[in-house]
C-alpha cells in the first residue's frame, strides 16, 4: 500500500464527494427518516456546506485524498499572509485510524513552518477523537463557540 496523495478536486469527483459527505454525517443518519427523505436532507446539507465554503474561502485549495488511485477523503485548505487554515478534512470511516490524517496534517505543518505561518482549524466539540489527534500533534485551543473549538499550531 502506498502513501496517500493529494490532488486537486475535479468535476468527476462529485459523486465521491457526495458519498463522503453522507458517510461523515452520522448525526443525520440517526434521524427517523425514510431513505428518500434522508437522502434529500443529506443532499441539501451537502450543497449548503459546499456553497458556504466556496463563499467563505474563495481562494482555498479543494483537494482529494487518494491512495493507489482510489479516493479516501477530501481536504479544503485556505492560506493567507498569516496562516494556513485547514477548513475541512474528511476521510471515509473505514480509512480512519490508519495514520492518514496525521500524515496530511504533518505535510501542512511543515509547509506552514517553512513559510513562518501558523496552522488553524476548528473541530466540533462532539468530535473528541479528532480533537485528541490535533492536540497530540501540538495544536492548542485558542477560541471557539458553543459548537466548535478553534485550535492553533504555531510550530
**What is the DSSP annotation of 22-80?**
HHT-HHHHTS---HHHHHHHHHHHHHHHHHHHHHH-TT-EEEEEEETTEEEEEEEEEE-
Report helix, strand or coil for 69: coil
Closest CA to 120 of 87, 73, 72, 81: 87
pLDDT in tens, 111-155: 999 999 999 999 988 888 899 999 999 999 998 898 999 999 998
Grade residue 1 by pLDDT with cuts at 50, 70 and 90. Answer: low
Q: Could you give the percent of the chain with pLDDT greater than 90?
A: 80
Q: What is the pLDDT of residue 3?
A: 82
The C-alpha cell of 148 is what? 466548535
Least confidently predicted of 25-34, 64-73, 116-125, 132-141: 25-34
Indicate the pTM of the whole model: 0.91
Residues 30, 31, 37, 43, Cα dihedral to 10°: -60
Average pLDDT of the segment spanning 95-113: 93
Domains of the chain (ranges; CATH) run 5-153 (3.40.630.30)
Query: Which runs of E-coded beta strand occur in 80-130?
Result: 83-91, 118-124
Amino acid at each position: 500500500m502506498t502513501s496517500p496523495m493529494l490532488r486537486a478536486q475535479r468535476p468527476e469527483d462529485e459523486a465521491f464527494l457526495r458519498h463522503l459527505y453522507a458517510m461523515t454525517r452520522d448525526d443525520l443518519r440517526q434521524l427517523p427518516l425514510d431513505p428518500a427523505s434522508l437522502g434529500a436532507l443529506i443532499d441539501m446539507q451537502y450543497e449548503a456546506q459546499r456553497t458556504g465554503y466556496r463563499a467563505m474561502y474563495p481562494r482555498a485549495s479543494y483537494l482529494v485524498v487518494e491512495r493507489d488511485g482510489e479516493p479516501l477523503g477530501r481536504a479544503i485548505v485556505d492560506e493567507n499572509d498569516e496562516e494556513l487554515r485547514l477548513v475541512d478534512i474528511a476521510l471515509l470511516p473505514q480509512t480512519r485510524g490508519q495514520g492518514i490524517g496525521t500524515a496530511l496534517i504533518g505535510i501542512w505543518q511543515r509547509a506552514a513552518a517553512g513559510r513562518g505561518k501558523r496552522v488553524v482549524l476548528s473541530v466540533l466539540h462532539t468530535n473528541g477523537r479528532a480533537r485528541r489527534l490535533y492536540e497530540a500533534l501540538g495544536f492548542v485551543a485558542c477560541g471557539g463557540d458553543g459548537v466548535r473549538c478553534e485550535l492553533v499550531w504555531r510550530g
